[in-house]
Structure 1
Amino acid sequence: MNAKHLKLAVLMLIILAAGAAGGYWWANHAQISPGPAMTTSSQAPAERKPLYWYDPMVPQQHFDKPGKSPFMDMALVPKYADDSGNKAEAGSVKIDPRVVQNLGMRTASVTRGNLTPKLEATGVLAFNERDVSIVQARAAGFVERVFARAPGDVVAAGSPLVSLLVPEWSGAQQEFLVLKKSGDAGLMDVARQRMQVLGMPSQLIQQVERSGVPHPVVTVSFPMSGVIRELDVRAGMTVTSGQTLAKVNGLGTVWLDVAVPEALAQQIQVGQSAQARLPALPGEVIQGRVTDILPEANLDTRTLKVRVELPNKHGHLRPGLTAQVQLAESDKQSMLLVPTEAIIRTGKGAMVMVAESGGHYRPVEVQTGAEAGGQTAVLNGLSEGQKVVTSGQFLIDSDASLQGIFAAADAPDTSTGAAPAPAPAPVALHEAEGRIISFGKGEVTIASGPLMGMPAMTMDFALARPQLVQGIKVGDKVRIGERQTDSSLVIERLEKIGGTK
């Protein structure tokens, strides 16, 4: 390598070293002094401060710090100064999406379809009192033998009951046989008629005529199959003409006596079909029909007794067993339907929370109709396709009340061109009196009197609204109004009626 090439290589090394040193300095300087854009993006948003905390079920009570509500088993909800902006749309409130998610609020669409109203009640099986046979003595006599029978035994038609010695029949039979030997047909007819007048069965008369000997001892048999309800005869006793020896009740059909609330009596008709399910026969559905609606109501339970006749082909239906009966009539008219859990019952009627766009919710008054299968017919107030809140609607209602927003009736549904629907029938509730035992989360334990045809008992009832228990304490005597759902008994009305016990 000559001197010229050596100088050029040294110059290149110097330039490379200077460039590396400059890059290292610039990198360190950039890390220490970030630009204005980076400084702006790292700033944290300002945190909102609550004005106070409150219980949505008791919104008028304010608390200065978070915690658990002293009224209900739930956490207090914060109230912010800018929550007044929730009234951005007239007649509606806006709920923060985070609150919606935390509370697990659910919505459902208003649909159109057919509703099959179903009335479910409890009943008790009883004997069919129209299927009864009385066994009586046709003449005075003496009991020579009683066959092995006892009340409650199931017997077949023609089974023997007792053997009776009838002296009066013995004399008439001997007279008939004497006239038979004489060959006088006219006198024989007179003697035969005399035996019939004395109550002698035609089979016995024919037997005497064929055998030619008297039969003073006659065996009395059961005229029909069934169960012996009464047995009033013993060996050696004397019986008189017309005396009742036994009573037999048929088992081909049985009665199911059902307690129906008086407000629903107009929905029941004689001849209406019914379905019965018995705990003693799980999985089996027995078809029957309504035969009678008894005219007298039960004053304690305010129910009417409806009699349903059920077939008893295999003899498994035994009087005294309980059963759940369902009476249903399909309504072929198309109507608007919403989940029953979306309905909020008020003192003046019913309302729902309609979910709108942008997180807005609006209370709307509705007219409700029949209820079946977890669905309630809406006669007026909603339109098909609207969204209604099915879970958490009470919190929204409380927030709306705080802001002075109350339910209003929407325009009636005119999508079918039909005239406005008539006012709905009142919601039928089963009523009884009882005493408060304890309170639970969303439920209350009551020592209830007779209810829905069932005897007095202590049981848990779900509360339709937590506000029902305000002003009521353990030991208070109350009157309850409840409705039966698929899973429980729900109290819709709870009134204090007296002092504690």
Structure 2
Amino acid sequence: MNTPKKLIASLALVAAGIAIGWGASLWSAGGSQGTVGAAAPAAERKVLYWYDPMVPTQKFDKPGKSPYMDMELVPQYADEAAPPEQGVSVSAQAVQALGLRTAEVERRSLGVAVEATGTVLLNDRDVSVVQARAAGFVERVYARAPGDVIAAGAPLVDLLLPEWVAAQREYLAVRALQDASLSAAARQRLLLLGMPPALVERVERTGEPQGRYTVTAPQAGLVAELLVRQGMTVSAGASLARLNGLDSMWIEAAVPEAQSGPLRTGQDAQVRLAAFPGEVWRARVASVLPEANRDTRTVRVRLEIANPGQRLKAGMSGQVSLQGPAQPMLLVPSEAVIRTGRRALAYVVDGPGRFHPVPVRLGAEIDDRLVVLEGLSAGQQVVASAQFLIDSEASLRGVLPPPAGAESAPSGGGAGQATTPPATETFTVRGVVESVAPGELTLAHEAVPALKWPPMTMGFQLADPRLAAGLAPGQRVRFTFARQGDGFAITAIERSAP
């Protein structure tokens, strides 16, 4: 009897231990479940999409393996993304490391200056042509030659004109009749034949016909052409010489077509000639020729300039500065604008480390500044350096407007289904050449924050095989690359100082 009682007591104790252990385990599990259940909601983060850090422009709507690299896709959380309307955020450490600079949008009254190279020419509006007024013979040519500079009234040639001799004899005969009306008519006939009044007066004074006539220069200037020689026979209206005045000269300048719009006739200009260093000559725009050169895409501008002392010589060259009227305009540093051919962007500072892109419409470039026609206002602060990094980050975060027809949201599907990529962006970093192969470079490059790449060694295709000319392993370079197909290709490369 004692043995069964002991057995029953042992079994009861075992059952009680099991019950106590089971209850403790339930209590422990319930407590831990409650703790996890309470903490889980706090740890939940909303995932916008998944992406491959090596190809961040491709977005996926589910986790999985990257189709480009042997690695898992990385989630992009909502609390890490900057909403498009808030622009791009950059940490203070990154701002300091990049040496990011800003500049103020300024409003100034400036005249657009156009610089061009000009050549001194003879003034073709100051030309005289000397002709024979009657048929005759060249008895003498004075010591003149093309290129000589002569004074007004200087003799050129002596002509013997038989027609004038006959007309003068008739006039003297009529004058002897002492008929005032006939004499006046005969005298008028001599003038109509081209005789100068001084020659007619000499005939009247001497009573003898004057058959020899000395042709003189009607103005001072350059003998451009001398077309007669002693002994020649000339007809009425034959050209004897051509003279070009030197009191004023032309300067012809070729102005780039893109800068020719503001040019106007009568506009003042400054000229600096190589022959007279340190001197500034004043000129005036005489005409803007109505035809542009199709080959050089330039417009010819003709300026008139005074030539005191005949110091200017045809063929001289100099620098022409055409200053337009002062107008109020907005100016930003040229380096503050990103131009891709399709658009121009400036990044406006919203606050410490906060920026947003603004499309701008540009005008002329004045020295190292650009005229802004639309998009900015005076007093705004814009990024003047490292904006390409900010632009890359803005493109990654979807701040930039997508191109027409591009999809910005991921569609349904697995990890292998990607959205349409945005417009191609470029990235510039420094690196060291590891190896050179036909059409490819392997480089150990620094981190690319815009793509969330750490420093690494990888191969890049070459957009142009000639980019690798002269490169060797160990060479330090600064290169620009862009997305091309499923990889990246180098579009520009330059050697850096060791």
For the superposition of Structure 1 and Structure 2, which TM-score range results when normalised by the shorter chain?
A: 0.5 to 0.7
Partner amino acid, structure 2, of 1:316: R
What residue in structure 1 maps to residue 427 of structure 2? Answer: none
Query: What are the equivalent positions in structure 2 for 1:289-308 lying under 5 Å apart?
Result: 289-308=284-303
Corresponding position of 1:92: 88
1:347 aligns with 2:341: yes
Q: Within 2, Cα distance between the matches of 1:147 and 1:292?
A: 38
Q: What does 1:184-223 align with in structure 2 at a 5 Å threshold?
A: 184-223=179-218
Question: Shift of the alpha carbon at 1:177?
Answer: 3.8
2:347–2:355 Cα contact (<8 Å) kept: yes
State the partner residue of 1:48: none
Q: What corresponds to 1:141 in structure 2?
A: 136
Task: Tell me which residue corresponds to 1:271.
Answer: 266
Alpha-carbon separation, structure 1, partners of 2:249 and 2:284: 11
State how 1:425-436 maps to structure 2 within 5 Å: none
Q: Is the alpha carbon distance of 1:206 and 1:351 closer, same or farther for their aligned partners in structure 2, counting shifts above 3 Å?
A: same
1:267 counterpart SS class: coil
Does residue 1:245 correspond to 2:243, yes or no? no
- 1:64-83 matches, within 5 Å, as none
Letter in 2 for 1:367: R
Amino acid at match of 1:382: L
Q: Which runs of 5+ in 1 are unaligned?
A: 1-53, 61-83, 409-469, 476-501
Describe how 1:8-27 pairs up with structure 2 within 5 A. Answer: none
The Cα of 1:130 is off from its aligned counterpart by 2.0
* Structure 1 residues 190-246: Cα deviation after superposition (integer angstroms, max 9, x where no partner): 432332233211111112222333322111011112212221011111111110011
Within a 5 Å distance, the mapping from 1:24-43 to structure 2 comes to none
Cα-Cα RMSD: 3.8
Task: Return closer, same or farther for 1:235/1:390 CA change in 2, 3 Å cut-off.
Answer: farther
Counterpart for residue 119 of structure 1? 114
Moved more, 310-319 or 242-251: 310-319
Kindly provide the CA deviation profile for residues 238-279 of structure 1, in whole angstroms up to 9, marking residues without a partner as x. 111110011112222223333344455542333333333333
Structure with greater Cα Rg: 2
1:120-171 per-residue CA deviation (whole Å, 9 max, x = no partner) reads 3333333222221110011111112111211122222111111111122223
**Counterpart check, 1:166 vs 2:161:** yes
The change in CA–CA distance for 1:112 and 1:263 in structure 2 (over 3 A counts) is closer
Q: Could you list the per-position Cα deviations for residues 379-412 of structure 1 after superposition, in whole angstroms to 9, with x for gaps in the alignment?
A: 333343333333444454445546655389xxxx
Counterpart CA distance in 2 for 1:213 and 1:156 is: 30
Give the corresponding residue for 1:227: 222
Alignment of 1:364-383 (within 5 A): 364-383=358-377
- Contact kept in structure 1, 2:88 and 2:390, CA below 8 Å: no
| Structure 1 residue 100, shift from structure 2 partner | 4.8
Shift of 1:104: 5.7
Letter of the aligned partner of 2:211 in structure 1?
Answer: P
Residues 380 and 196 of structure 1, relative CA distance in 2, 3 Å threshold: closer
Matched, 1:313 2:336: no
Identity of aligned residues (%): 50
Question: Separation in 1 of the partners of 2:219 and 2:278?
Answer: 32
Does the 8 A contact of 1:364 with 1:407 survive in 2?
no
Unaligned runs of 5+ in 2: 1-53, 58-77, 403-461, 468-498
TM-score of the two chains, using structure 2 as the length reference: 0.58
Offset, 1:180? 4.5
Distance 1:122 1:393, change over 3 A: farther
Change (3 A) 1:178 1:380: closer
Contact 2:95 2:353 in 1 (8 A): no
- 1:338 matched to 2:332? The reply is yes
